[in-house]
Structure 1
Amino acid sequence: MNPQLIRFTRSVLSLVYLILIILSIPLAFDVGGIDCGLTFSFTICVLYFVLATARSLTRKNKYLRWVSVFYYFQYIAIPSILTLFLSYYSGKTKPRKFYVVELWTIFIVNSTPIFTILEGFCSLLSIQAIGQTVSWLTAYKSDSWLIVSLIASGSTITGGLYFLYRIYVLPITIDLVGSSLLGSLLTLTFGLGLFGIVSGKGSIIESSLLFAYIVRCIYETFPQLRDNANQAITDIFTNTRLLVEIPMLSPHLSNTISTILPFLAANVPASFRTMYEFLNVSITKLPIPVLFNFSYRITSFFAATKIIPALYHSTLYPSASPPRTPSLVRSRETSTASITSMSLSRSESNNSQASIHSTRNMRQQFSSDKPPSTIVRLIYSYSPCIIIPVYTHLLMSYHGELATHLKFWDVFGSGGSSIVQLPIHPVKFWNWVNMGTTLLLYLLELMGSNNHIDGNNALTNHWKVD
């Protein structure tokens, strides 16, 4: 079978599974309640883990390869499992919560620092990857990329300044501590951005994206700002004026559609009608703000899985930058000196070609290493086991079911180790920590990196140069 067709089919099936996850979990939370949503998300996460493991273990065995058929069984089973749990939790008597689901709940509620710090780390990796890619394109492809980066950076900075302006015009009160932290982090962000641009260790696109990410984190820190921005974005997508501005269809086409639709509605099988009703109800229960945050987190996590292997290989052969072949300098004079210089130029060219061949050999040698490829393959194979907890955590935050006080272990207490609660919201606290950690990591990166205006850096030093 055509390998491209196989990859396309797998991509389509993965997209279908992601859509099922996005639509079914919010429906379980809204219709069945918090316990139903947690039980359903835990069940489909375990189901995927078991089926993916069975598929990986039996893929290379020709006698057990048929087991992989059950892997695709979950595409049909997810709506049935959802219906089962909705029926179970919709009864008059409150069902008993299972012990494993209680452990799952504890993990989801207390996973705020994990997901928040990981999001900041992956976002910083993505920002630096974009900056290094633009620098490489500007140095080796075309100077037009510099104009593109300037336009994109200007648009990003303008958008960030607009959302900062909204903080001051909205009727929202920020306490003294929050205002002090807000001013300090913004000052540090501007300072790091200017330092990176002036020193050449960063770029304007990196600084603008870092500024935009800090502004996003500020909105996520304050619930009132977040809700106001989410409502504004939701109004843009649900504005009825946009429908009025759409031009009307021609009478011939509208009459044809009005004739075909009743015929299709009368002859569609009942199973398809049920599926349509399921999709319709699921879409109405889908929180748009959660979908935006979920899309950003998953995109940043996925980008990190692409960037980290490239950085891993660049550290294995740091001198693998393919140099340009030096041009052969020809002189009109036929003196001995010119012949000698031409011989030296040929020698340098041969050495450059030898360096390129040695670089290719090094790449082939290190590309066959098993650990990084195995880890990345496992991440891709079990990615829904990461997507489902992230999505469940965002839905729990949307429904206000996360902890409202920061908890930590007091190991130095007089009565031994105990849990101490502070009157600080965990989401707000870990967002401040995330912003500080992200800026600190970027500062360390700027202090330890070399000037990469010429496009030669850790991510792109092994890319092909014409």
Structure 2
Amino acid sequence: MWWFFRLVSGSVFLLTIVLSIPISFDVGGRDSGLAYSLSLFGFYLVYSAAKLATPDSSRVRWTITKLLQSSQWIIIPSLLIWSLHNFAVDANSTDWVSRTIGGLGQKHATWTDWFFGNGGLVESVTLGGWDKTLRYSSPVFQLAEGFCTLLVIQAAGWISRELVNRGRSDTWVLILLIISASIIASSVYFLWRVALFPSVNNVDAILIGVTVTSAIFLGAIGIGTGRGNPVESSLLFAYVVLCVYQIFTDYVQSPEAQAQAAEQAANQPEFPPLPPIIMASYSTLLHLFNFLPSAVYSSLSFLYAAFQTIAPSVMISLIYRLIVFYCATRIIPAVRESGIGALINDPAFDDSDDANRLLGFLSWFSPSILIAVYTSLLLQHFSASAGEEGWTLRHGDAGGNTWRWVNVAATMILYANELRIGNEHLKTD
């Protein structure tokens, strides 16, 4: 049962990080969010380094890790309160260099205050360095996403090939063909939606056409040569469409689209969206919620308000990157070893395979990497606004479209190289 408690603990940790970091940005502003995420990053970096530097059987390791693991539920809210108390600033004060140099002009500021005080050199350089590091790391995170996705695609192809080769009938062939066809059909639907976006110009249309054609061409070559299969081709095509969709939309409707949808809904007769039996069950369920304590409503309202501060594209990108990163560090080694142990145990750092060693090293520091990736996504949507709060996490310019195109091209080039090399695990028996 230890794996169940580990799963629950990991889920609570993930929910805490996902909600607390945007709250620090939304309530305290940019500096507050940067200070909180940097302090969390440092805490889990020390925690992971302590686990990696000490032997598994060491009592010192057990004492340190258990102490840090138990204290994280006190440290996380303490760091959040500390960042909101000390670093809540005006959203328009985003130029940390100007604030630092401007402190020299204060007549009553001492060298100690200018260097160590609130808004001093140490604070400004630390937060500014963390900000610049996250911004310059965004392309790295984007390319790492494509690399991990390619590993997952290859692992899915290997699994599907093993299922077909070990099966005694054509059942798995039909099932995998249906799955591949469903993936392609869903991707074509979203590609059709991209074609209807008003922001797509002639240059964008040419890039989309070249990208989609190249993905189809690579998938056909892989199936035709036997070094790929329909599962790999469909997943590659789906990832290309996902990247294209992320480039041209933020997963939210524009005001014009919302007004048009409201007008269409007003002109249509009022029919229940679901059959009467389902609507009756839904109404009964809502009625039962009225008997819940008020504390439950307060908790649900808080969760709803916290999630409302996050842009949809941030959550989708974070969830996708978590999935492919987990698959790359846990599922792929398990597939290679043909065992289940890699799914529940930490990856070995002394693996003979260089790729597995790199993925195992990254998995040790996965909490810090998660915090850095998530903060980088949030910063892409942080911008000043004319409202009462002065800033928002939902309407910023995400940017990074150039690196998204580079990521798509790099992923297809790597896949084409894999097809050319023709590794043994990609060949059919």
Q: TM-score, normalised by structure 2?
A: 0.72
CA 42–138 in structure 1, closer or farther in 2 if over 3 Å, else same: same
The one of 192, 196, 199 aligned to 2:218: 192
- Rounded to whole Å, the distance in 2 between the matches of 1:310 and 1:205 is 19
Counting only pairs closer than 5 Å after superposition, residues 36-435 of structure 1 correspond to structure 2 as 36-55=32-51, 57=54, 60-62=57-59, 65-67=62-64, 68-90=66-88, 96=119, 97-141=123-167, 142-176=169-203, 178-222=204-248, 224=249, 227-228=252-253, 245-248=278-281, 261=292, 264-265=293-294, 279=303, 281-306=305-330, 309=333, 370=351, 377-399=360-382, 427-435=400-408
CA 242–112 in structure 1, closer or farther in 2 if over 3 Å, else same: farther
- Rounded to whole Å, the distance in 2 between the matches of 1:242 and 1:47 is 49
Whether the aligned pair in 1 keeps the contact of 2:31 and 2:89 (CA below 8 Å) is: no
Aligned residue type for 1:28: S
The one of 404, 414, 420 aligned to 1:447: 420
Query: C-alpha offsets along residues 395-436 of structure 1, whole Å, 9 cap, x if unaligned?
Result: 1112259xxxxxxxxxxxxxxxxxxxxxxx961111111111
Aligned residue type for 2:19: L
Whether the aligned pair in 1 keeps the contact of 2:32 and 2:88 (CA below 8 Å) is: no
Shift of 1:387: 0.6
Question: What secondary structure is seen at the aligned counterpart in 1 of 2:281?
Answer: coil
Say what the alpha-carbon RMSD is for the aligned residues. Answer: 3.8
- Rounded to whole Å, the distance in 1 between the matches of 2:141 and 2:56 is 32
Shift of 1:88: 2.8
Query: C-alpha offsets along residues 288-327 of structure 1, whole Å, 9 cap, x if unaligned?
Result: 321111000111111111366468879xxxxxxxxxxxxx
Question: What secondary structure is seen at the aligned counterpart in 2 of 1:398?
Answer: coil
- Rounded to whole Å, the distance in 2 between the matches of 1:21 and 1:39 is 14
| Larger of the two Rg values belongs to structure | 1
Shift of 1:168: 2.6
Whether the aligned pair in 2 keeps the contact of 1:200 and 1:451 (CA below 8 Å) is: no
The answer for unaligned runs of 5 or more in structure 2 is 94-117, 262-271, 339-347, 385-397
- Rounded to whole Å, the distance in 2 between the matches of 1:104 and 1:43 is 11
Aligned residue type for 1:190: I
Match status 1:437 vs 2:410? yes
Identity among equivalent pairs (%): 32
Aligned residue type for 2:22: P
Whether the aligned pair in 1 keeps the contact of 2:157 and 2:228 (CA below 8 Å) is: yes
Aligned residue type for 2:189: Y
- Rounded to whole Å, the distance in 2 between the matches of 1:73 and 1:387 is 19
- Rounded to whole Å, the distance in 2 between the matches of 1:143 and 1:171 is 45
Aligned residue type for 2:70: Y
- Rounded to whole Å, the distance in 2 between the matches of 1:255 and 1:299 is 36
Shift of 1:62: 3.2
Aligned length: 360
Question: What secondary structure is seen at the aligned counterpart in 2 of 1:60?
Answer: coil
- Rounded to whole Å, the distance in 2 between the matches of 1:58 and 1:140 is 40
CA 35–200 in structure 1, closer or farther in 2 if over 3 Å, else same: same
Whether the aligned pair in 1 keeps the contact of 2:146 and 2:407 (CA below 8 Å) is: yes
Aligned residue type for 2:412: L
Whether the aligned pair in 2 keeps the contact of 1:136 and 1:455 (CA below 8 Å) is: no
- Rounded to whole Å, the distance in 1 between the matches of 2:16 and 2:222 is 43
Shift of 1:209: 1.1
Q: TM-score, normalised by structure 1?
A: 0.67
Partner of 1:415: none
Question: What secondary structure is seen at the aligned counterpart in 1 of 2:322?
Answer: helix
Whether the aligned pair in 2 keeps the contact of 1:112 and 1:426 (CA below 8 Å) is: no
Shift of 1:273: 9.6
